[in-house]
Amino acid sequence: MDYYSSEINRLIEELTALPGIGAKSAQRLAFHIISMPEENVDRLADSMKSARKNVRYCRECFTLTDDELCPICRSKSRNHRVIMVVETTRDLAAYEKTGKYEGVYHVLHGAISPMLGVGPADIRLKELMKRLEKDVDEVIIATNNSLEGETTAMYISRLIKPSGIKVTRIASGVPVGGDLEYIDEVTLLRALEGRVEL
């Protein structure tokens, strides 16, 4: 038996489909939303629609951006011959917050995980290799220190090595399995400065 109107059920269902939102949170959010002033709901819905419509992947590094090229790829003051490979746009943001990295990035949008059935073709690896056809001095692999991150780092290093481009891996000291975005800036900087050649 349905306790709620079908409209509320529909809203709860949509919210439950979001990551990290369980049935209880979805219910709470749904009731909150229907008690909000209509104009606030419109604003929320509009911001979701507009973000979904206008945010896209940078043509070069595949981070999320409003333009064809992200501000980092467009910048003339960045060193375009050094590419840091990260798993997510959130990791990129973590390194940008340190304000000390002058190269550019490449966002994979995931990591290789045989267990979850994520293979090399499922992340932006082909696109990275394509970028390496231009003049690149160094590729810094800054994937997470998890099993998936390490697997991905090994795979990429083996792929790039024959080209003669220098491949480095950020130093460990970053907690095992730790997501980069939760690590403080000092630790990130130390990991970057202590990177080792693979």
Question: Which residues contribute to the site for Zn ion (CB under 5 A)?
Answer: 58, 60-61, 70, 73
- Beta strand 103-107 with 79-86: parallel, antiparallel or unpaired? parallel
For the bound state, the minimum distance from the C-beta of residue 64 to Zn ion, rounded and expressed in Å, comes to 9
Exposure class string for 88-121: b at 16+ Cβ within 10 A, else e: bbebbebbeeeeebebbbbbbbbbbbeeeebeee
110: left (phi over 0), alpha (psi -120 to 50) or beta: left
For the bound state, the minimum distance from the C-beta of residue 61 to Zn ion, rounded and expressed in Å, comes to 3
For the bound state, the minimum distance from the C-beta of residue 69 to Zn ion, rounded and expressed in Å, comes to 6
Closest to Zn ion by CB, 11 or 124 = 124
Instruction: Show Cβ contacts of residue 19 under 8 Å, excluding neighbours closer than 6 positions.
Output: none
For the bound state, the minimum distance from the C-beta of residue 73 to Zn ion, rounded and expressed in Å, comes to 3
For the bound state, the minimum distance from the C-beta of residue 10 to Zn ion, rounded and expressed in Å, comes to 38
Sheet holding 166-169, edge to edge: 103-107, 79-86, 138-141, 166-169, 196-197
Closest to Zn ion by CB, 96 or 179 = 96
For the bound state, the minimum distance from the C-beta of residue 125 to Zn ion, rounded and expressed in Å, comes to 16
Neighbours of 48 (CB within 10 A): 10
Q: Are 161 and 144 a contacting pair, CB within 8 Å?
A: no
Give CA 141 to chain center in angstroms.
14
User: Given the structure tokens 């439950």, which residue do they identify?
Assistant: 16
Report d(CA 105, CA 113) in Å as an integer: 22
